[in-house]
Chains A and B, each alone.
Chain A
Amino acid sequence: MKTFYNEAESYVDEMLEGIVAAHADQLAFAAGEKRAIMRADAPVKDKVAIVTGGGSGHLPVFMGYVGKGLIDGAAIGNVFASPSMNQMLILTRTVHAGKGVLYLYGNYGGDVMNFDMAAEMAEEEEIQIKTVLVADDVASAPTGKETDRRGVAGLFYAYKVAGACADGGADLMTVADTTQQALEQVRSIGVAITPCEVPGAGKPSFTLKEDEMEIGMGIHGEAGIQRGPRRSADEVTAGMMKLLLEDLPHSGGDTVSILVNSLGATPLEELYIIYRKAEQILKENKLGVYRPYVGRYATSMEMAGFSITLFRLNDRFKKYLDHPVWTPFVREGTH
């Protein structure tokens, strides 16, 4: 794999130093902890703090969403590996403004174990914690086992809802419940055609033949639901939309937001070809489209592939999507 980095050991730290240096007006290390990034103006007075985290390798997840209107901080692990309990705890203490902290992150074992232990320790320090897990990947567990699912690009919608709700002055319980309700309306599915390589591992984390693709593959290369010959953009998109619409309860006249996301290497051009087809299918199903997103929102380093996320909206969720955000990687509306 041809890449640009110095040493595998320093990959994450140097990446984080770069991000904080490039966005020094917006981001800062929490209490000097090199694996915890927060809003430079944290703690934000009178607001529930929102903390996320997970392994590196998914930019703009997580640091790209730290800022006004979205989340307050992110604990960052090595590539595809959870950050430590202590890094989460330091971040929690630093961003906490007295209204409690929402832990909002993807459903992965290592992250859950570390965040759960951090929550236990924070509660011993009288910091109130609520946890909401993002588990939007329909390919990772069947209907009926939704809580087993992995969290992928749906993280973006989770941050949007939680961030807007917290900015509105809601208490911790309300922010957590609202975000949970929104996530019940979010579904994602991905497809990969080439792998990525964890720095230092020396080889890709999986292999696919030149003419193969894998539908449902996770953002760390976890097995999907169907490996087979590559097909055209329209055919792949139609297959994925079918799986999403089968899983997401909906009826004609509903409105959804759609996110067409690159896993890293797939260019915007291809994403728009995919978006075109996806939007046609939504219209055929009499579903309105509100605030579509197309771009790199949750990646797996240089993996080629994409994901589609649907978020079924009500008036309240529409309003939350309209809420302005100003972060290093996402700027919507004016602040």
Chain B
Amino acid sequence: MAVSVKPEDTAAILDRLAEVFEQQKDHLNNLDTKIGDGDHGLSMARGFGAAARHVREKFPDTIAAMLMEGGMQFNEAAGSTIGILMFSAMREAGKAAGEKTEVTLYDLASMLEAAVQGIMKRGKAQVGQKTILDSLHPALHVLQAGLASRADERKLLADVIQAAADGAEATRDLKPEAGRARWFSERSVGQIDPGAVSGHLIIKTVVEYLLAR
């Protein structure tokens, strides 16, 4: 298989993300209630719902425009910390895609790297602080290493999902040091970070779309 993503795939992936987060909304809210104020699932579902709707209606002609405009809609609908972080991530990923109308797995790695850096800059956060970065960053790392060693794409993509899942699971042992979650730090010990779970869901949804093609 040779991965390629075009604008119509980008729209389809956003649709899929909107569906996945609508399904997972209550589950994510429940996780968030344990360590936060219980609205994380709602924010993610609203955000991707608005992004997907906008992209379907306006159908911007490049992947970059889809991500940047979709990100703005995500922020508009979800507000909050996750809203601005997802906007920053989608905007930076969009910029990394540039004017391309078709991107490869190498481009996707650059886009994910830009997204991770966008979240770090805007959120003033690092890996290991019990945030969405803790699932996105391991996935990026595995993807970059696999591409460098020319690993089999199908196997590599499965490993990327696993890295994100493992990263999310490992947040149970972390103490929150960024964002509002740090105010709930005692309650947070032993609990998985809902943002990291969302990071895993995003990686899984995108990669499964690629694998299904």
A residues with a Cβ closer than 8 A to B are: 55, 77-87, 108-110, 113-114, 116-117, 140, 150, 198, 200-203, 205, 218, 220-223
Q: How many A-B residue pairs have CB under 8 A?
A: 100
Q: A218-B183, A223-B184 are in contact. Are A113 and B39 (CB under 8 A)?
A: no
Consensus secondary structure, chain A interface = loop
Contact A84 B79 (CB under 8 A): yes
The 10 closest A-B pairs by CB, nearest first: A110-B81, A222-B183, A81-B80, A77-B79, A84-B75, A113-B84, A109-B179, A201-B38, A110-B80, A84-B76
User: Within the complex, what minimum Cβ distance (angstroms) separates B131 from chain A?
Assistant: 10
User: Within the complex, what minimum Cβ distance (angstroms) separates A74 from chain B?
Assistant: 13
On chain B, the residues within 8 Å of A220 by CB distance are: 37, 180
CA distance A114 to B82 in the complex (A): 10
> A81-B39, A82-B84, A200-B39 are known contacts; what are 7 more A-B pairs with Cβ within 8 Å?
A81-B83, A84-B77, A114-B75, A150-B183, A205-B37, A220-B37, A223-B185
* A–B complex contacts, Cβ < 8 Å, 7 sampled: A55-B79, A77-B79, A81-B83, A109-B123, A113-B85, A113-B123, A223-B185
On chain A, the residues within 8 Å of B33 by CB distance are: 201, 203, 205
Q: A201-B29, A221-B37 are in contact. Are A77 and B183 (CB under 8 A)?
A: no
User: Within the complex, what minimum Cβ distance (angstroms) separates A269 from chain B?
Assistant: 29
Contact B75 A222 (CB under 8 A): no
Contact B183 A82 (CB under 8 A): no
Cβ proximity bits B36-53 to A, threshold 8 Å, 1 near / 0 not: 011100110000000000
Cβ proximity bits B12-48 to A, threshold 8 Å, 1 near / 0 not: 0000000000000000010001000111001100000
CA distance A83 to B42 in the complex (A): 15
CA distance A280 to B81 in the complex (A): 42
Determine the residue in chain B with the shortest Cβ distance to A118: B84
- B111 interfacial contact with A, CB 8 Å: no
Question: Which of B38, B43, B79 lies in contact with A203, CB distance below 8 A?
Answer: B38
Contact A117 B38 (CB under 8 A): no
On chain A, the residues within 8 Å of B75 by CB distance are: 84-86, 114
User: Within the complex, what minimum Cβ distance (angstroms) separates A137 from chain B?
Assistant: 10
CA distance A202 to B122 in the complex (A): 31
Contact A80 B39 (CB under 8 A): yes
User: Within the complex, what minimum Cβ distance (angstroms) separates B143 from chain A?
Assistant: 26
On chain B, the residues within 8 Å of A222 by CB distance are: 180, 183-184
On chain B, the residues within 8 Å of A86 by CB distance are: 72, 75-76
User: Within the complex, what minimum Cβ distance (angstroms) separates B208 from chain A?
Assistant: 29
On chain A, the residues within 8 Å of B78 by CB distance are: 78, 81, 84
Contact A85 B84 (CB under 8 A): yes
Contact A110 B83 (CB under 8 A): yes
